[in-house]
Copies of this chain bind each other. A is one copy, B any other.
Amino acid sequence: MTDSLFEIVEEPIQVEPIIKKVERREAGAITTFIGTVREWTKGKRTLYLEYQAYIPMAIKMFAKIGEEIEKKWPDTMVAITHRIGRLDISDIAVVIAVSSPHRKAAYEANEYAIERIKQIVPIWKKEHWEDGKTWIGDQLENVPYPDGKPDAKDVKS
């Protein structure tokens, strides 16, 4: 199953099969993060979203995040699935599942995964607001890099 721990899909995401990927007899804790499409952001209403990915590189970066996590929290196992295309309100955009013998690592590694996804994985979100549309990440809406510039040390392996 190792080669399908990290996926980009165009169909609705089911959570349970992703949890199954990280289940192990030695793991007593599994955390999942489910990112869904939110209707309201700072008073602005979203009608729907479009996600675009540079698919082969995105999957490589998911695997890189998985390796980083295994290094930082030994004995954890990570699976990530991200959906692209058009997503409506409440649709699942991303699921991250982490299993670990103990719960602390499962929480920490899971949160680390979503932070890293937002830093290094080439996936873009186009918001279709009630009053227009924008690619998020551009300077008009939100620059995800803290100092306004991508930081090469975050992304190089």
Interface, chain A (partner B; CB < 8 A):
14-16, 19, 23-40, 89-90, 101, 103, 106-107, 110-111, 114
Q: Is the beta-carbon distance between A36 and B23 smaller than 8 angstroms?
A: yes
Q: Using known A-B contacts A19-B15, A23-B90, determine if residue A32 contacts B35 with beta carbons closer than 8 Å.
A: no
Known: A19-B15, A23-B90, A111-B107. A36 touches B31 (CB 8 A): no
Contact at B40–A36, with CB atoms within 8 Å? no
Q: How many copies of this chain are found per oligomer?
A: 2
Whether A31 and B33, one on each chain, are in contact in the complex, defined by CB atoms closer than 8 angstroms, is yes
- Shortest distance from the beta carbon of A134 to any chain B beta carbon, whole Å: 17
CB < 8 Å neighbour of A110 from B23, B107, B114: B107
- Which residue among A40, A106, A107 has the maximum number of chain B CB atoms within 10 Å of its CB? A107
Q: What separation, in Å, do the CA atoms of A76 and B34 have in the docked complex? A: 14
On chain B, the residues within 8 Å of A28 by CB distance are 35-38
Known: A15-B15, A19-B15. A29 touches B25 (CB 8 A): no
Residues A25 and B101 in contact in the complex (CB < 8 Å), given A30-B36, A34-B30: no
Known pairs A24-B90, A29-B35 / 19 extra A-B pairs, C-beta < 8 Å: A15-B16, A23-B36, A25-B89, A25-B90, A26-B38, A26-B39, A26-B40, A27-B36, A28-B36, A28-B38, A30-B34, A31-B32, A31-B34, A32-B34, A35-B103, A38-B101, A40-B101, A107-B107, A107-B110
